[in-house]
């Protein structure tokens, strides 16, 4: 296993634990999918079919985009107009 894969898995686990501790469940789930993608794409190949593994990356990015859009909408609601 390469050092980059280990760092990716370690970073995913750290992000999951930090977001779960702060009770940001969508971001914690997003990082679970990121870690699962790294694990099944680089370490445990041929365990899960390739289209399923590829969907982990799409789920990660869609969950992160959902949170970014949610933050933008919430900030626009807080700005007084006038």
Domain assignment present for 33: yes
Domain assignment present for 72: yes
pLDDT exceeds cutoff 70 at 1: no
Runs of H (alpha helix) within 1-82: 3-21, 25-38, 50-78
Number of folded domains that form the chain: 1
Cα gap 61→9, rounded to integer Å: 17
Cα gap 45→64, rounded to integer Å: 25
- Owning domain of residue 52: 3-77
Cα gap 58→65, rounded to integer Å: 11
Q: What is the pLDDT of residues 24-80, one digit of tens each?
A: 889 899 989 988 998 888 888 888 888 999 999 999 999 999 999 998 998 888 877
Q: At what angle do helices 25-38 and 3-21 cross, to 10 degrees?
A: 160
Domain assignment present for 22: yes
Domain assignment present for 82: no
Domain assignment present for 53: yes
pTM score of the predicted model:
0.79
């Amino acid at each position: 296993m390469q050092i980059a894969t280990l760092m990716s898995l370690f970073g995913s686990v750290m992000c999951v634990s930090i977001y779960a501790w702060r009770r940001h469940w969508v971001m914690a789930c997003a990082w679970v999918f990121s870690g699962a993608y790294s694990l099944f794409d680089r370490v445990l190949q041929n365990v899960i079919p390739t289209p399923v593994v590829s969907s982990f990356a799409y789920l990660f990015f869609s969950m992160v985009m959902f949170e970014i859009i949610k933050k933008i909408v919430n900030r626009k609601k807080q700005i007084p107009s006038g």
